[in-house]
Amino acid sequence: MIVFIALKKLREAAGLSQNDLARKTGYSPQFIQKIEQNKVKSLTLEAAARFCEALDCKPGDLLEEGEPPKKLTIDKGVALNPHSAKESSRSKKRNSDETSEVDLLKAA
């Protein structure tokens, strides 16, 4: 079982930015960002209490079970998985074949 700190979900539900939460808790926006990026593996009870006070939640609300959300970044021209690349090349091949058929019809 994987447990992670679900601070971003609670912060967004409260309608707060990272800077707003930083002002309310006294922690830096960088620290909050690290927690939200799952780079922080634990919180002190004091930190949990500050976040809960600022977000009007209970300490258990800060923890979530399952896989932490991953930030999806897509670089131009990079396939997300091998199947997408195959599908993409098949699609390009199909489009190329369709264009060839159209060109042959125009020539006739």
- Helix ranges (H only) for the chain are 7-13, 18-25, 29-36, 45-55, 82-107
Distance CA 20, CA 98 (A): 55
Distance CA 53, CA 25 (A): 8
pLDDT bin (cut points 50, 70, 90) of residue 75 is low
Phi, psi of 97 (to 5 degrees): -65, -40
Distance CA 64, CA 3 (A): 6
pLDDT bin (cut points 50, 70, 90) of residue 61 is very high
Mean pLDDT of 85-97: 48
| pLDDT tens-digit map of 93-108 | 444 444 444 444 445 4
| pLDDT tens-digit map of 3-60 | 889 999 999 999 999 999 999 999 999 999 999 999 988 899 999 999 999 999 999 9
